[in-house]
Structure 1
């Protein structure tokens, strides 16, 4: 993908104050778009999440970078540019520093990916190494690639990004143009809203729907029971009625079959 946006914002990045970086949503110089959707004010700001790891075989897709991730990316990009590093080097440094690597839900995600066979497909002892020595095999992105805020707060799924024209446009214009560069990778959406967005891109022909691993429970600790059942750590009879164990069992079997098919000629 072109780093045109990074180049366009580079003079801004090098001149941002610490206060602007700490609260990037308030920095007028970073504004990319602003929409009133009903009674809600929705904004998209620039933060340096442009870099694409084109060697990746797994793409992990979150919702959108939050304020904390945006600040980390902006800080890393400013430092790299002021050190005299190239645009490409600075973009890569910012993306690597700010992505999901430190999040506690990583452990749940690794165990689920290993269970459905992704580690074996990649020839790894475990997908845990995607966050260390095999980092060249993974690409981190978001359905709404640049940070989105609603009424000044991190966007958390509403308004719906698939059904709301402005957000759907951002989904298609950025992530929808990014993922075709990773056509041989499998796509791991984190949660049903992101999965719906990836399926919407598949319906537009922008990604291959057969390579979307749709059905994994969201790896957040708030989803502990569904994860525990999926991993076999908790028996169905011990689960609450809120956990649809039959649906999770079907999803696990389908995902294992889907990943197994990737290795077939």
Structure 2
């Protein structure tokens, strides 16, 4: 996949840390607008870790992740890093950053993922074991509805040609770039629905899917209930995946 970063470097040179919405949610970084839906460029979901064993797939990057990615890019540009290095660093800085990461890794720990991978904790996937992990979203670029983070509901992905194209075409292409037998974990029911449809129609090559995992956002009030309802089944899927892959 060809990087889009070069197209935005000129606009980036006028920015400085810390960044606000008035800096990034502008025409300079707007990819497409249709009705109340606005999609903006953000660099952190361009980099693909083709050797990943675990793929975490959210709905779309939120403002927190977008801001973290751009600030990391500015640091990389200042240090004259290569585009590949900049994109990799942006991915590491922004992938499920903030409190969402703690909720996510706590649940992964309880499902037994570290034991299957032979690592000490799921948090270490974001640290020293980062080569095992690929973080992404079914809609790779940040989407805002009337300036607010898109949550996957209004409108439904299937009701928007723009969102459907990214979910069912671009995301499917991304999975094809990752080596077979990765454990793909869609976060929440919206991401899970997309993955189930892809399995029915595209059949992503050789990957395993962990269904039933709740979206780890603190705003998801049903997170813990859903997790405990599905925990035993998810543990078994992870164990089965591990026995076939390692």
Interval of TM-score (by shorter of Structure 1 and Structure 2): 0.7 to 0.9
Q: From the superposition, tell whether residues 212 and 229 of structure 1 become closer, same or farther in structure 2 (CA, over 3 Å).
A: closer
Contact 2:181–2:207 under 8 Å retained in 1: no
Max radius of gyration: which structure?
1
Q: Within 5 A, what are the aligned runs for 1:1-265? A: 1-3=1-3, 5-13=4-12, 15-18=13-16, 21-23=19-21, 24=23, 26-36=25-35, 41-49=36-44, 50-101=46-97, 103-157=98-152, 158-182=154-178, 183-205=180-202, 207=204, 211-223=208-220, 227=224, 230=227, 248=229, 251-265=230-244
Give the number of equivalent residue pairs. 240
Contact 2:55–2:136 under 8 Å retained in 1: yes
Q: From the superposition, tell whether residues 7 and 184 of structure 1 become closer, same or farther in structure 2 (CA, over 3 Å).
A: farther
Q: From the superposition, tell whether residues 111 and 96 of structure 1 become closer, same or farther in structure 2 (CA, over 3 Å).
A: closer
Contact 1:25–1:149 under 8 Å retained in 2: no
Which deviations, in whole Å up to 9, do the C-alpha atoms of 1:75-112 show, x marking residues without a partner?
A: 221231232111111111222222224x3243333233
Q: From the superposition, tell whether residues 105 and 26 of structure 1 become closer, same or farther in structure 2 (CA, over 3 Å).
A: closer
SS in 2 for 1:44: strand
Rounded Cα–Cα distance in structure 1 between residues aligned with 2:17 and 2:34: 25
Deviates more, 1:205-214 or 1:156-165: 205-214
TM-score, structure 1 normalization = 0.79
Rounded Cα–Cα distance in structure 2 between residues aligned with 1:229 and 1:152: 29
TM-score, structure 2 normalization = 0.84
- Tell me how far 1:229 sits from its aligned partner: 8.1
- Tell me how far 1:47 sits from its aligned partner: 1.1
Rounded Cα–Cα distance in structure 1 between residues aligned with 2:226 and 2:192: 20
Gaps of 5+ in 2: none
